[in-house]
A and B are shown apart, each in its own frame.
Chain A
Amino acid sequence: MTDKFTQSGLPPTVVSLTDYLAKFPGIGRKSALRMALHVLRSSKDFAQSLSDALMAVKDRVSFCRTCWTLSEENPCPICTDSNREQNLICVVEEPGDVIAIERTGCWRGVYHVLGGAISPLDGIGPDQLRIDALIERTKDGHVSEIVVATNPTPEGETTALYIARIFSNSNLKITRIARGVPVGSDLELVDDSTLQQSIEGRGEIG
């Protein structure tokens, strides 16, 4: 592809920038070229700010050593927030899941980011996730409940079942986020598996 673009008469620096931008998830070569041309058309200040922002992210952001989410501080503001219920831990797969749950504004506990999910077929086992760190966090006895909010995929479910198993001899309450019909959808279009789970996990009205 690079050769084709070089042959198309673009300066090598633009081709190089396009190559890097095309590595972003969801960005194809055409979009990458559009972005590169936008940088060219913009002021030098814009390019400098973009470059500074990229470097700042790499320099300042790291994993919180308590919950393993992305943060500029260690421990992160969520872990040090005294208004949050530190005895409730919500376990998620990736830092992006923390952002999604925080957006809802309904969770007042803290988090634990596993860094993935157990996938036997891909050879991703519990040892490759931050499950030992989760066990360590519960050792001082202040945690009362672990809410497993891994994705409702076979990998996420396997991870949830594994967590339930390893804490089965403790006094901790292990719960799983509810699964069911997406808001705004038609029942007749929902797949059998989701519908079955939503009926099994039904709740009382009022």
Chain B
Amino acid sequence: MSSGPEKDAALVIRTIRHGESSRIATLFTRNHGKVAVIAKGARRAKSGSTGVIEIPNLVEAVIYFKASRSVQTLGQASIIRSFPAIKRDLVLTGYASAVLELMNLSFTDAEPNPEILDTAIETLDSLETCSGSPRVNLWMFQLALFRAIGFNLDPYGCPVCGREKAMVGTRNMFWLDSGAICCSNCRPSNGACIPVSGESVSLLRNFVNGSDRILQRMKPSQSARREITDLLERFLKTHHSGIRKMPAMKMLESFENLPETPK
């Protein structure tokens, strides 16, 4: 890490209050990955960074790096995109929080990944403009994240018997260790498996194919939604030892079950 100020685009993925009027923020920067910064005076009404260092803003930040410090100092910061429509909607806020939570939990500090940053921004853009189902957008982000951290789903042929077609429409097992779908008869003796329906297998195949248009047209049943949401969460927890709890993901469900606000 070089010393001195550097300008970088960053997504604000987490903030906590610090002292009387400051804020410590976790930024996911394009060039340095996850960086903790202190925004001094950011909670004062007349500070230049009030309202800037807030989730899920995309900002241009000047960061003063010093290798010996774990928390760097934020200089100037300005908003590139503030996603106002997300901030005005409880459920979209829940989805955006889930995206930010995944970014925060899946990466360690100073591990740059511009591709996943771009994917996260695209996902937030899709939520902001309400293009497509927010749930499908979140699932697609999760799959991109798995690829970025080196784990792939393989919902095609059963890794044991090689059968493929029989899977759709029947009850199958998702092998958490390998990320593959296997027939219930071929269930491996080692490693945890979870049951998965034919509908979910079909959805997963469209994910892996990257058939966004088909996916956005699909209307998954409630049980398939629950199944895939659970499967993706458990797959991540299986492969990422640092992830135990995902509170934002859990809270999203409760937000979705609330009554609609009349327009």
- Which of A8-16, A105-113, A136-144, A165-173 sits within the interface? A165-173
A193 to B94, CA, bound (A): 20
Query: Pick the contact of B261 from A121, A122, A164 — CB < 8 Å?
Result: A164
A192 sits at the interface (CB 8 A): yes
**Could you say which residues of chain B place their CB within 8 Å of the CB of A126?**
254
Residue interface bits B48-69, CB-to-A below 8 A is 1, else 0: 1111101111000000000000
Chain A at the B interface: SS class:
helix
A185 sits at the interface (CB 8 A): yes
A154 sits at the interface (CB 8 A): yes
A26 to B43, CA, bound (A): 14
**Could you say which residues of chain A place their CB within 8 Å of the CB of B191?**
none
Of all chain A residues, the one with the shortest Cβ separation from B14 is A121
A168 & B90 in contact (Cβ 8 Å cutoff): no
A193 to B79, CA, bound (A): 8
Q: Determine how close the nearest CB of chain B comes to the CB of A80; give it in whole angstroms.
A: 33
A125 to B245, CA, bound (A): 14
A-B Cβ contacts below 8 A, count: 94
Query: Pick the contact of B52 from A121, A157, A164, A191 — CB < 8 Å?
Result: A191
A120 & B54 in contact (Cβ 8 Å cutoff): no
A168 & B245 in contact (Cβ 8 Å cutoff): no
| Sample of 14 further A-B pairs with CB below 8 A, known A120-B248, A166-B258, A194-B51 | A120-B98, A122-B16, A126-B254, A152-B51, A154-B54, A154-B55, A161-B93, A191-B52, A191-B78, A192-B79, A192-B82, A193-B51, A193-B84, A196-B84
Q: Can you list 28 A-B contacts (CB < 8 A)?
A: A25-B20, A26-B19, A120-B93, A120-B94, A120-B97, A120-B98, A121-B100, A121-B101, A123-B245, A123-B248, A125-B254, A157-B87, A158-B93, A162-B255, A162-B258, A164-B90, A165-B255, A165-B259, A165-B261, A168-B262, A191-B49, A191-B50, A192-B51, A192-B82, A193-B54, A193-B79, A194-B51, A196-B82
Which 7 A-B pairs give the minimum distances between C-beta atoms? A123-B247, A120-B248, A161-B90, A120-B97, A193-B51, A191-B51, A120-B251
**Interface on A for B, CB 8 Å cutoff?**
25-26, 118, 120-123, 125-126, 152-154, 157-158, 161-162, 164-166, 168-169, 182, 184-185, 189, 191-194, 196
